[in-house]
Amino acid sequence: MERLTTPKYYAAASVLLPCAAVLIWPSKVWLTAVFLIWIIAAAGFWIRLERKEYEERSERTIHSLQSSAIRTLNHHRHDWMNDLQVLYGYIRLQKLDKTVDYMEKIREKMGNESSIGRLGSPSLVSFIQSFRTMTNALELEVDVKGEIQLSEFAGDCDKIADTLIHTINAYRFATKPGHGAVATLRVELSKDSGALYAAFYYEGELMNEQQWKQKIQQQLEGAPMQPINFEHPYSKVLLKAELRA
């Protein structure tokens, strides 16, 4: 990107030369004409490079999204292959009771993934589904109780989604990596007749609990979801957003 930015500034700076000439010899009509032509040429050059920069940024963004989607699909494919192998093993061993139990487990997982997909926020759904491609230090589990549409609640749908994403990321960046069990963050989304609730249950260690708490408080300032009680330790945080009037 810098290889395109530098020529743009050189082109803009080059206008100073004919400008100075016009100021020194204002009576020279041909200098004024050269100045105008120079400005038009520099502007055209700037616009052309701006377009090229935009195209390159778009290409990088598309490539990044495609790579993220491929990694997410690979993770999901790996999970489903594991489930199929377990089922196949139970069937071969003729353990029908365990086969039925495991099928029920798969059914519940599919139902929850379907509920996540209907939350109404592409950014939040994409974030949850691709979370495993972002870190190996924290495992995220999201449980949606019933049918939830974020647009039903007070505050912009995207702002509610951003609050959830920022809170999850606060845990992700604060998680203390270790050689033992992977830290787990379980997020339960539920609602009643008047509000949306997001409960965060964390199992693991944080690098600095005080910094984590300050980060959470900063991110919740002015957010549509507010903590019901922030006196609990980091292992449990409960947020609430009111239903639209």
CB proximity list for 125: less than 8 A, separation 6 or greater? 116, 117, 119
Q: Which residue has the tokens 């647009």?
A: 151
Q: Residue 172, SS3?
A: helix
Q: What pairing do the DSSP bridges indicate for beta strands 183-191 and 138-144?
A: parallel
Instruction: List b or e across 53-86, with b for residues whose CB sees 16 or more CB atoms inside 10 angstroms.
Output: eeeeeeeeeeeeeeeeeeebeeeeeeeeeeeeee
Cα–Cα–Cα angle for 123, 126, 127, rounded to 5 degrees = 80
Block mean pLDDT (10 aa), the chain, length 245: 62 71 74 76 78 79 71 75 88 88 88 87 89 87 89 78 93 83 91 88 88 87 82 79 71
Residue 185: what pLDDT?
94
* Beta carbons of 180 and 142 less than 8 angstroms apart: no
Residue 120: what pLDDT?
86
CB atoms within 10 A of CB 124: 23
Residue 198: what pLDDT?
92
CA 159/CA 165 separation, integer angstroms: 10
Torsion angle of C-alpha atoms 89, 91, 93, 97, degrees rounded to 10: 110
Residue 208: what pLDDT?
87
Count of residues in the chain: 245
Residue 66: what pLDDT?
67
Indicate the DSSP class of residue 231.
-
Q: What pairing do the DSSP bridges indicate for beta strands 226-227 and 183-191?
A: unpaired
CB proximity list for 96: less than 8 A, separation 6 or greater? 90
